[in-house]
Amino acid sequence: MTTTQRVWISEHAHQRLRDELVELQSLHRDDGVDAADPNLVVIQQARRSRIQQIHDLLVNAVVGEDPPNDGVAEPGMVLTVRYDDTGDTETFLLGVRGSEHGELEIYSVESPLGTALLGARTGQQRSYLTPGGATVAITLLEALPYGVHRQAGAVA
């Protein structure tokens, strides 16, 4: 499945995805798939699927451009939320799964949490449904552009 939605990824993640794509494409060319071996066919199909997924990410990527530092939750922002029922907090990147960003957990804008937070401002409360059907109330405590978050971590 292809997407036309623009996605945010860091320069480092972009390079890592490009390297993975080159490697997968070279393996894809080198594979002489024996149609009689179902394991090799499945591996080749999975590889083709990952190549397409990476290609779609790279074609639609906004690379390394931080969103404005305005406290609004959007792709490319590192969000800190409080789970209102427990008081627990979590910090994560609102971005693209499959484009790792070091120690940060990544939530997609298509995830229930990401969808609920998209467009939220610092201090705003939102809620979302878990796959199990529970409603979870959260408050956005902080929204920082990825680059600002990284610089603050480097200083600390």
Would you list the domain boundaries of the chain? 7-63, 77-155
Residue 16, pLDDT above cutoff 90: no
44-63: pLDDT as tens digits: 888 889 888 888 888 877 78
- pLDDT at position 65: 76
- What is the pLDDT averaged over residues 108-126? 94
User: DSSP for the chain?
Assistant: ----S-EEE-HHHHHHHHHHHHHHHHHHHH----TT-HHHHHHHHHHHHHHHHHHHHHHTEEES-PPPSSSB--TTEEEEEEETTT--EEEEEEE-TTS-BTTBEEEETTSHHHHHHTT-BTT-EEEEE-TTS-EEEEEEEEEEEHHHHHHHHHH-
18-44: pLDDT as tens digits: 898 899 888 866 556 566 677 888 888
Per CATH, the number for 77-155 is 3.10.50.30
- pLDDT at position 100: 57
